[in-house]
Structure 1
Amino acid sequence: MSLSMYEVSIPVLARMLGNLSNLLKKGEANAQARSIDPKVYIDSRLAPDMYPLARQVQIASDMAKGCAARLAGVEVPSWEDTESTFDELQARIAKTLDFIKGIDAAKLEGSETRTVVLKMRSGELSFSGRDYLLGFAMPNFYFHVTAAYAILRYNGVDVGKMDYLGGV
């Protein structure tokens, strides 16, 4: 039995978004316990040229909803990137989960050969659905979830590998 495009995308994205939500809960609790303004974590970044925590979460959300929509052949929802609190970031993740979980698995059938075209500042990138999922969308998604994890860890939040991986 082969794996479907749905199986290797939507449930994986949903699981990691849930893990990201749990990481943010730990970050918020840590800030409260240490009497640190939560904005310190929200605005924290690993390096001066990297995005802060809030933007990492927004991009992870964008990658998940964009991946699901493009593979399903539906319009990618456009959301403003205005989240600046833990509650707002949690709402963004919940909205993303609602969207991707609402996509019918049948919509992804045959998407491995569907052409996906991304309009970038540098021009257009064209992929097969398979190459888009495995070589672009998932690596980018994991990068931003990992960066969010690392920002929290760097700031002293008690998170570890099992928080990142979730229940295995």
Structure 2
Amino acid sequence: MPVSMFKLSVPVFIRGLNVLATLLDKAESHAAAKKIPLDDLFNARLAPDMLPLSGQIQRVSDTSKNAIGRLTEVPAPSFPDEEKTFSELRERIAKTIAFLETVKPSDLEKSDTKDVPIAFGKLKFTFTGDDYLLKFALPNFFFHVATTHDILRNQGVAVGKTDYLGPYG
């Protein structure tokens, strides 16, 4: 039996977003224990030309909701990138999850063959829906989840592989 586009996207995105929420909890606990200003973590980045922690979380949100918007007739909500606190990042994560929870398997039927045009910087592509999800949206999503994890680890937050993978079951 083939795996559905729904199963490959919505539950995966929700799981990753929940992992981010848990990472934020650990970051806040770390900051409190070490008496580090939360802004130091909020604005931390791995390299000067990379987005900070806040930007990574914004991209995870955008990638997941916009992937569904591109693959379905369900309009993705637009969230301005104006978060300034961990609480606001958590709210964005929650709003993204709430949107994803409205998507039904039937919304993604036949989305595997839909043409999905993408402009990424100067590059322009047109993918089939399945190639878009598997070769662009999911790798981009996980890049930003992993980068969030890596920024926190680089800042001394006690997170490891099991925190990145999240709970099973």
Residues 73-128 of structure 1: per-residue CA shift (max 9 Å, x gap): 22232210001211010000000000111111101011000111124442642110
1:31–1:56 Cα change, 3 Å: same
Partner of 1:49: 49
Number of residues paired by the alignment? 168
Q: Is the 8 A contact 1:72 1:103 kept in 2?
A: no
Distance in 2, Cα, partners of 1:121 & 1:147: 20
Partner of 1:2: 2
Matching of residues 125-164 of structure 1 within 5 Å: 125-164=125-164
Output the TM-score relative to the length of structure 2: 0.95
Distance in 1, Cα, partners of 2:138 & 2:120: 17
SS in 2 for 1:125: strand
Residues 26-83 of structure 1: per-residue CA shift (max 9 Å, x gap): 0011101111100000000001111100000000100010112212222232210001
Relative to structure 2, which stretch is displaced further, 57-66 or 113-122?
113-122
Q: Percent identity?
A: 46
Distance in 2, Cα, partners of 1:123 & 1:158: 38
Matching of residues 60-71 of structure 1 within 5 Å: 60-71=60-71
SS in 1 for 2:116: strand
| Structural RMSD (CA) | 1.1
Structure 1 unaligned runs (5+)? Answer: none
Structure 2 unaligned runs (5+)? Answer: none
Output the TM-score relative to the length of structure 1: 0.96
Partner of 1:166: 166
Matching of residues 1-150 of structure 1 within 5 Å: 1-122=1-122, 124-150=124-150
